[in-house]
């Protein structure tokens, strides 16, 4: 009987990257296809919960849901407040973190692809979570979907409050059987061009827009996880683009540009390095500034090679490198998309799509499990079939 099956609850931070919304789309499609093929459901009810995201994120839970409904306009909850939406015989809900905190007397299988910021720890007292899949490391190793975004900023009051909330949540979470998908493992699983191209047209367009923003955008220098994301995630992804596009950092090593404040032309790469040095000097947390400068400089040189454009000067602002600060956005976007269409590269690690695949395909488990590197090929094949 479907009514005996546990409900699903999926904590996401849509718009932090591009994979949350894609993971949700793949899950809903899986529900639809399963119903059509077997005339059965895998669960009677699903709750998609938008969290507040990482520390100092510009978006809160409600704002993330607003973005999510741009991808899924058919589920815009204003039309059916509180009623949910039917997929086969499954009811799906899109709720904010306060609404999730108020849920009671339910039994869940849980997928966590976001930090649980804003979730009242009493949620775990008032409901039964029988299993969890986490896109992240087992504690005490930090990850962005647990406590990494604030654990180095505990001198700040807001970070202390988040840490208190996190520790209270973890008193319950530590006893829940969990499958861990480590960041190191996830970075071996590509989010392919074909995966994105298989999405519905309106969805695909928005995802490619997000891909471009991730190409040109860096974590702001005032956030404690800037160094880790820039070196560990952004750099390998963007260097992979260069290789896929048959480009090399040497291609523009001698290129010059005329700057109004200089009498002579200056090397483009010198301009890039000046901007990168200023960025690194303004980071609030950085263990290795020289390595950060080296990797950030390579990233921005690659962005220049791919887009043909520099960033606006940032010497007198605290703006980070972003889509808003790149010169000639439309031209830059077109150049990038032309290269993507021609070479069809892998665009970023699969992260949350990978976690969703694990959530769907490992329905019942009762013991902790850290997915080993030996299963890489299995998961690459699996997500390609979602």
The total number of structural domains that make up the chain: 2
Q: Are 10 and 108 in contact (CB under 8 A)?
A: no
Give the Cα separation of 211 and 333 in Å (integer).
10
Rg (C-alpha) for the chain, rounded Å, is 22
pLDDT of the residue at 316: 45
pLDDT of the residue at 1: 42
Q: Do both 98 and 215 map to the same domain? A: no
Could you list the pLDDT tens digit for every one of the 386 residues in the chain? Answer: 445 689 999 999 998 777 899 999 999 999 999 999 999 889 999 999 999 999 888 899 999 999 999 888 888 766 555 678 888 889 999 999 999 999 999 999 999 999 999 999 999 999 999 999 999 999 998 899 999 888 878 788 988 999 999 999 999 999 999 999 999 999 888 888 888 888 888 888 888 998 899 999 999 998 888 998 999 889 999 999 999 999 999 999 999 988 776 678 889 999 999 999 999 999 988 999 999 999 999 999 999 999 999 998 654 444 579 998 999 999 999 999 999 999 999 877 789 999 999 999 998 899 999 999 999 999 988 888 87
* Residues 375/173/54/95 CA torsion (nearest 10 deg): 100
**Element containing residue 129 per DSSP (H, E):** strand 128-135
Tokens representing residue 293 in the block: 């400068």
Q: Do both 137 and 284 map to the same domain? A: no
Give the Cα separation of 314 and 271 in Å (integer).
11
Q: Is 8 helix (H, G, I), strand (E, B) or coil?
A: strand
Give the Cα separation of 115 and 99 in Å (integer).
16
Q: Is 11 helix (H, G, I), strand (E, B) or coil?
A: strand
DSSP annotation string for 305-344: HHHS--BPP-TTS---S-TTTBSSHHHHHHHHHHHHHHH-
Q: Do both 144 and 75 map to the same domain? A: yes
Q: Do both 341 and 223 map to the same domain? A: yes
Q: Do both 139 and 206 map to the same domain? A: no
Max CA-CA distance within the chain?
A: 79
Q: Do both 168 and 256 map to the same domain? A: no
Tell me the CA end-to-end span of the chain in Å, nearest whole number: 26
pLDDT of the residue at 78: 60
The residue segments making up the domain with residue 287 are 191-348
Q: Do both 256 and 202 map to the same domain? A: yes
Q: Do both 198 and 341 map to the same domain? A: yes
Q: Which of 145, 133, 49, 165 is nearest to 97 (CA)?
A: 49
Q: Do both 338 and 355 map to the same domain? A: no
Give the Cα separation of 248 and 309 in Å (integer).
16
CATH code, domain with 178:
3.40.50
Q: Which of 298, 343, 347 is nearest to 321 (CA)?
A: 298
Show Cβ contacts of residue 182 under 8 Å, excluding neighbours closer than 6 positions: 136, 137, 143, 370, 371
Q: Do both 94 and 26 map to the same domain? A: yes
Q: Do both 199 and 328 map to the same domain? A: yes
Q: Which of 154, 184, 208 is nearest to 370 (CA)?
A: 184
Q: Do both 311 and 366 map to the same domain? A: no
For residue 272, the Cα-to-chain-centroid distance in whole angstroms is 27
């Amino acid at each position: 009987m479907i009514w005996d099956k546990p409900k699903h609850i999926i904590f996401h931070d849509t718009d932090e990257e591009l994979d949350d919304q894609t993971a949700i789309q793949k899950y809903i499609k899986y529900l639809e296809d399963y119903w059509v093929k077997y005339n059965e459901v895998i669960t009677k009810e699903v709750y998609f919960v938008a969290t507040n995201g990482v520390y100092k994120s510009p978006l809160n839970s409600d704002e993330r849901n607003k973005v999510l409904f741009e991808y899924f306009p058919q589920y815009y909850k204003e039309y059916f407040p509180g009623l949910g939406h039917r997929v086969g015989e499954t009811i799906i809900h899109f709720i904010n973190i306060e609404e999730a905190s108020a849920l009671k007397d339910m039994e869940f299988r849980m997928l966590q692809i976001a930090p649980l910021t804003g979730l009242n720890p009493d949620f775990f007292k008032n409901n039964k979570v029988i299993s969890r899949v986490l896109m992240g490391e087992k504690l005490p190793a930090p990850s962005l979907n647990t406590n990494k975004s604030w654990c180095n900023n505990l001198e700040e009051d807001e970070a202390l409050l988040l840490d208190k909330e996190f520790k209270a949540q973890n008193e319950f979470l530590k006893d829940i059987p969990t499958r861990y998908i480590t960041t190191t493992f996830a970075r071996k699983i590509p989010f392919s061009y074909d995966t994105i191209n298989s999405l519905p047209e309106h969805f695909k367009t928005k995802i490619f827009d997000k891909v471009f923003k991730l190409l040109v955008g860096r974590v702001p220098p005032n956030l404690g996880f800037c160094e880790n994301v820039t070196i560990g995630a952004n750099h390998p992804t963007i260097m992979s683009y260069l290789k896929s596009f048959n480009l090399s950092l040497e291609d523009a090593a001698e290129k010059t540009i005329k700057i109004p404040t200089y009498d002579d032309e200056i090397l483009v790469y010198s301009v890039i390095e000046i901007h990168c040095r200023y960025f690194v000097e303004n980071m609030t947390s950085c263990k290795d500034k020289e390595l950060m400068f080296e990797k950030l400089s390579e990233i921005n040189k690659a962005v220049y090679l791919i887009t043909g454009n520099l960033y606006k000067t940032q010497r007198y602002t605290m703006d980070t490198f972003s889509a808003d600060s790149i010169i000639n956005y439309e031209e830059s976007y077109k150049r990038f998309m032309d290269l993507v269409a021609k070479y069809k590269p892998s665009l970023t690690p699969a992260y949350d799509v990978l976690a969703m695949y694990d959530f769907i395909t490992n329905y019942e488990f009762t013991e902790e499990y850290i997915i080993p590197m030996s299963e890489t090929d299995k998961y690459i094949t699996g997500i390609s079939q979602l």
